[in-house]
Structure formats: C-alpha cells, structure tokens
C-alpha cells in the first residue's frame, strides 16, 4: 500500500514539477499587461473564403497552468471576414456578468502570455455544415452564467459539452483540460467528447473514459492518468 501511494504521488506531481522547472508557466504575470496578441495560427479571414472551425488550448493563467489548460472554439463561416470566438471566462462572474462569451474576436489570441496550440482544424463544406450547430449548442449551454474553477462547470466543461452534442465535430479534449469530465445536469454516463467512445464520471471528480481518439483515461480528483493509442502517449497530470 505504501508503494502504491508513493507511485501515485510521483505520477501526480512529476508533471506539474516539470512544468514549473522548465518555466512553461509565467507565475509572475499580471493579467492586465499579459500578452493577448494573435499567435498567427489561424488563417487570415479576409483572404480565406472557405468556412473554418478551430479549437485551441493554452496553459491556464498563472498557477492554474501548472495543472491545467484552457480551451476555446473559433469559427468563421464561408466568405465571412471575421471569426466568432466561443469561450468561458470565469472572472467575468466576479462582475455579475455571464461566464459565456460569444463575440467577434481574434481566434488565436495568446492566453495571458501562454501560446495556444491548435487541437482541431475543420475546413470547407464540413465546417460550413457544423457552424450553425455549434452556435445553437453554445446558446443552449446550461452553465452560461455560473462558473466553478474545480471540478466544474468551468472553461473546459463548455467545449466538451459542444463536442458531445456534435460528435461529428470529432473534438478530443486535451487530458489536462480539467473540467472536461464534468457532465452537465448531474449525468453519470455520456459519450466521450470526440464521439468515439464513452465515459462514466461522478461530478468530474472520479471517472473512466474509453474512446478511440482519447484512449483510456482515469479521472481522479479531476486529474487524468491514462494511455492514448494513436499516436501512443502516456497521459499524466500537468503535462497532459
């Protein structure tokens, strides 16, 4: 039992410690002055005529980024000259505002000094067919106003909800997207966000997910341990 506990500690904190030691998170940043410029990952809307759907992930702000990422969705309809960004911003609730933001914006902004990664890119006729579905699902999201950092509903609960409602989107959430396993309205069983498997989750705190895209994930206190098969990856807290 002692060896199991020691192994669990190593698996849990090795990733976050690595993130700190390699300075992948800026622990001294001030949100009011942090970089929110474009990372130049999205196609230029004024010269890209086809429809575009993109999902991004970036390390969460400040100490949160040691353990978790923040994800959001951006869409550009065919021939549109701007992107619409869908995301949850938790600190809006401190000012009595809804956490859900749907607005024309730069799709690939740095997330307060953290460079985003592109985790889904859908173009052309498929994107054109799905954009209206994304907008409808977003407007029906049951947690547009409230926000709970842990275990959810938070910024990652939202894109996971969109993905489960639109399985043809094929969005596999990063394993470090804490909150993705919080199933809305007290559900205990659901499709995996990618639509390629299923999961059992107890309020996002304890659960198991098995899917072709995500692999096998064990959720303990919101942290994910697991294996991804294509490509092969070991999934650990912090480093994903």
CA distance 194 to 214: 7
Q: What is the pLDDT of residue 6?
A: 81
Does some domain include residue 51? yes
In a domain, 96, yes or no: yes
Cβ atoms 196, 190 nearer than 8 A: no
E strand intervals along the chain:
52-59, 69-76, 84-88, 100-104, 117-123, 189-191, 197-202, 206-211, 215-220, 223-229, 232-235
Residue 77 lies in a domain: yes
Return the pLDDT at 127: 98
Q: What is the pLDDT of residue 4?
A: 78
191 within a domain of the structure (yes/no): no
Establish if 228 belongs to a structural domain.
Answer: no
Rounded to 5°, the CA angle 101-63-215 comes to 75
User: In terms of residue numbers, what domain contains 31?
Assistant: 2-170
The whole-number pLDDT of residue 217 equals 98
pLDDT at 10: 83
Does residue 126 belong to any structural domain of this protein?
A: yes
Largest interatomic CA distance in the chain: 61
Domain count, the chain: 1
Q: Write out the chain's pLDDT in tens, 240 residues.
A: 788 778 777 888 888 989 989 989 888 888 789 999 999 999 999 999 999 999 999 999 999 999 999 999 999 999 999 999 999 999 999 999 999 999 999 999 999 999 999 999 999 999 999 999 999 999 999 999 999 999 999 999 999 999 999 999 999 999 999 999 999 999 999 999 999 999 999 999 999 999 999 999 999 999 999 999 988 999 999 988
Supply the pLDDT for residue 11.
80
Answer whether residue 181 is part of any domain: no
Residue 217 inside a domain? The answer is: no
Q: In what order do the strands lie in the sheet with 69-76?
A: 100-104, 84-88, 69-76, 52-59, 117-123
């Amino acid at each position: 039992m002692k060896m199991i506990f020691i192994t669990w500690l190593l698996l849990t904190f090795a990733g976050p410690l690595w993130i700190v030691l390699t300075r992948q998170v800026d622990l001294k940043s001030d949100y009011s002055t942090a970089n929110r410029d474009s990372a130049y990952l999205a196609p230029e809307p004024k010269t890209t005529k086809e429809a575009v759907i993109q999902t991004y992930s970036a390390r969460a702000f400040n100490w949160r980024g040691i353990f978790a990422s923040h994800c959001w969705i951006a869409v550009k309809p065919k021939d549109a000259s701007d992107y619409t960004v869908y995301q949850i911003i938790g600190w809006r609730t401190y000012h009595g505002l809804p956490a859900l933001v749907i607005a024309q914006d730069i799709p690939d902004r740095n997330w307060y000094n953290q460079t985003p990664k592109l985790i889904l890119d859908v173009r052309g006729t498929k994107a054109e067919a799905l954009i209206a579905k994304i907008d409808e699902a977003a407007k029906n999201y049951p947690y547009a106003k409230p926000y709970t950092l842990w275990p959810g509903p938070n910024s990652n609960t939202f894109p996971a909800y969109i993905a489960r409602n639109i399985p043809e989107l094929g969005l596999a959430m990063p394993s470090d997207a804490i909150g993705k396993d919080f199933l809305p309205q007290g559900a205990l069983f659901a499709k995996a966000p990618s639509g390629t498997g299923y999961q059992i989750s107890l309020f996002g705190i304890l659960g198991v997910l098995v899917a072709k895209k995500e692999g096998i994930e064990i959720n303990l206190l919101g942290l994910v341990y697991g294996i991804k098969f294509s490509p092969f990856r070991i999934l650990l807290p912090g480093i994903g």
